[in-house]
Structure 1
């Protein structure tokens, strides 16, 4: 039998019989991050890096965070490799042989990633998993689909194009995407922009689901369907990192027959600026916000000529996009 492993992993099959328990670690990781940012930007081996982490941190949550922060701030995304389209195949005799060869593949890839200092999602996930193994943390890899561009709004998730991890902290399995924690691709320049994000370290399953749909739906830790995922707007990393929440609209496909679209957002700061743009107009506009306690409401009018996509901005950063359909 042959197993082929290939994930294009544009930034932004294994079956597990596990019961997932999730708790979100809302603790402040500033001290962990501060220590890790003073680490060397390269290590001679994964064992040396793991030894340093084991020496500095006692708790499972701190060790997991240290691994996440070091990888996200020191491994850069390899765009040429993401666009190469190369696959990796290996042969196995039986289930035991498959597990053994998968582990060897992962360890070899992790060591290569550390040495080269770059990679795609497979590399990030392999390095995170291997360092978890070396720091007494249980970890699994989760292949699936990522929602990364406007054309995916309203469409069912395609075959796996991404891979991320889940790490066990205490009795809880927590979702982690260190690839997206490392930065993003600038759509104008086409270049990877390093920018640390902690939004993809142990968020709630609901937040993680906004742009991740696992190959095995159980790995979402939610009772959600491919249709649920398809109907979501395109949420950007700046939204995942934020403290506010878009309450309405929840559907990513908006009817063009509507004359206006009401929006509701909770927990915007007093000084936050909201704006929007239709793709066929390419002109940034600001709605009139009505604030009532922690709730902000506004209405965006839709003209008969408005088609394509509507993108919402907060403080000039794109946070969500919607498709204007018939």
Structure 2
């Protein structure tokens, strides 16, 4: 009997007008980890260094996240040309588990030594280092939402993986694959761009971009419909706590000439805020109002608006919606 090992690969798709870049501040843990060697002789040596420098579970978990994000890059070549999956036969459950562990150990060592991986390698390495540092961690497999075409998809697929780690008796969400950078289509290469927003992420924001295969988180059922039909948000959206409170769907069904009201948290009416029409021309938001910490405004949906509408704060994408003309 053959068991196929499934490789969970994540593509960082970046169109110039979609990527949100911003200045990233490092916390005290990150600043210490930045001084670490880029290479250690073994994962055990790295874990010992982390345990020596940090005592709290939170700091250890963050140090592992930071070191991986700083030093392991996304293997885009492997994404484009994935290696053939390895199969194996077994006669007992014990033999099956032993061979699975061998494959996992090989993946961890390859990711650590070559310093490149796809999401399967990132998550396996994070879990391994967490366990060496005395932390409990698990790998979660599921779907990811990253491009405009993901808005309003009909079904989820299992194309990504991330971690949860137990810190102070509470499970925290970790996606170190996304913490290390992104793929820049304009340059045709991966760009290292550390962000901390995928360490101990707010579940509301995290599950706007991730959906586990189980459909649950800590026993709580998640809404597949909200994930599939919600708007597309970006790193700056999470970092600035720009919660989208209206409309309540990423699918905007309108008639030509109809107005739609939007509300987005933590944006000033004096900010440089606009959207692009279907010719990629910027259109300034007219007559915005500040209400209870949110910017409220209307957009008239005429034939100048294309299939998608993306709002920008300065040069940064905040949120995208899919437009369905009735």
Tell whether the structures are fold-level matches, with TM greater than 0.5: yes
- Out of 265, 283, 286, the position equivalent to 2:284 is 286
Structural mapping, 1:1-326, within 5 Å: 1=1, 2-11=3-12, 30-91=27-88, 92-93=90-91, 95-219=93-217, 222-257=220-255, 259-268=258-267, 272-278=271-277, 280-288=278-286, 289-326=288-325
Distance 1:46 1:149, change over 3 A: same
State the secondary structure of the residue aligned to 1:265: strand
Distance 1:269 1:232, change over 3 A: same
C-alpha contact 2:156 2:228 (8 A) present in aligned 1: no
Distance 1:286 1:220, change over 3 A: farther
Stretches of structure 2 lacking an aligned partner (at least 5 in a row) = 14-24
Distance 1:269 1:113, change over 3 A: farther
Shift of 1:274: 1.4
Cα deviations by residue, 1:141-185 (Å, 9 ceiling, x for unpaired):
111110111111101344311111111112111111000000111
C-alpha contact 1:239 1:319 (8 A) present in aligned 2: yes
Shift of 1:257: 1.3
Distance 1:300 1:122, change over 3 A: same
| Length-normalised TM-score, structure 2 | 0.88
C-alpha contact 1:5 1:87 (8 A) present in aligned 2: no
Number of corresponding residues: 310
State the secondary structure of the residue aligned to 2:217: helix
Distance in 2 between residues matched to 1:269 and 1:290, nearest whole Å: 9
C-alpha contact 2:108 2:125 (8 A) present in aligned 1: yes
RMSD: 2.1
| Length-normalised TM-score, structure 1 | 0.88
Aligned to 2:18: none
Shift of 1:305: 5.0
Stretches of structure 1 lacking an aligned partner (at least 5 in a row) = 13-27
